């Protein structure tokens, strides 16, 4: 759980995190983050549009864990593309933190992409955020940022065995851009898939643990979402086994 990937700006990012999309502001989010931190997670992923940044921040402060040990991600929503500095300050105020570890453009909008990225470079330069990146970007959209002074450190995208984006993953690896996988458990939609279940049985693991392990072995940073304490803890039990190459290929071909 303390394993990390070094980003292209030299910062370390934990390899497994908790996503809080679709969690209610208040007790649900706050308690889930506290459980996650208790379980050993050190990466928490939120966003302005989720409406629960304040709860994430409260949990981080309540945890008693040193701030520098917790990696907090949030994101800029398109409605605030032309006021990046004000948007990041709003997120900082809601989180109650002095800096954000990773700030992402939540969704690409081609007509203003270069302008936004310049503003991202500015908030990075003054230390409001420790790393900057993007979300939901394709190879073509990433290539448009190739000449940027500061390249994206992370591209967060939908990624799981039923949505295996090999071309995108290969491109990001070639450019030293870390790929973060949201919905790595297919929002629960494929946990009963017979192929995944058979492989899970082989390793005496749960289907969710197989999907998370698949992500890790591809060098991804999965951020499974759960507000269930048992599952939050179970999702950490993925570092004591290795999926064999043949089984990895079977999972790769589910998409």
Active site residues: 50
β partners of residue 6: 12
The total of other beta-carbon atoms located within 10 Å of residue 91's CB is 24
Contact 2, 40 (CB under 8 A): yes
Q: Number of H helices and number of E strands within the chain?
A: 10, 10
Contact 225, 22 (CB under 8 A): yes
Q: Identify the CA nearest to 242 among candidates 211, 203, 208.
A: 203
d(C-alpha 231, C-alpha 85), whole Å: 37
How buried is residue 194: exposed, middle or buried, by Cβ count under 10 Å (0-12/13-18/19+)? exposed
């Amino acid at each position: 759980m303390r394993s990390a990937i070094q980003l292209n700006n030299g910062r370390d990012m934990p390899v497994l995190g908790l996503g809080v999309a679709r969690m209610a502001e208040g007790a649900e989010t706050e308690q889930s983050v506290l459980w996650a931190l208790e379980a050993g997670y050190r990466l928490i992923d939120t966003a302005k549009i989720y409406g629960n940044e304040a709860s994430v921040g409260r949990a981080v402060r309540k945890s008693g864990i040193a701030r520098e040990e917790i990696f907090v991600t949030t994101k800029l929503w398109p409605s605030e593309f032309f006021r990046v500095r004000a948007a990041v300050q709003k997120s900082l105020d809601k989180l109650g933190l002095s800096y954000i570890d990773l700030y992402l453009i939540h969704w690409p909008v081609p007509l203003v992409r270069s302008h936004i990225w310049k503003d991202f470079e500015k908030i990075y330069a003054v230390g409001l955020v420790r790393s900057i990146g993007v979300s939901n970007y394709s190879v073509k959209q990433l290539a448009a940022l190739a000449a940027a002074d500061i390249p994206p450190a992370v591209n967060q995208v939908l990624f799981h065995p039923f949505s295996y984006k090999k071309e995108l993953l290969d491109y990001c690896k070639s450019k030293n851009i870390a790929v973060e996988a949201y919905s790595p458990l297919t929002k629960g939609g494929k946990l009963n898939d017979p192929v995944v279940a058979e492989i899970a049985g082989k390793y005496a693991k749960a289907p969710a643990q197989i999907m998370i392990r698949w992500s890790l072995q591809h060098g991804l940073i999965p951020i499974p979402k759960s507000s269930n304490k048992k599952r939050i803890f179970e999702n950490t039990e993925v570092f004591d086994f290795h999926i064999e190459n043949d089984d990895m290929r079977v999972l790769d071909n589910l998409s």
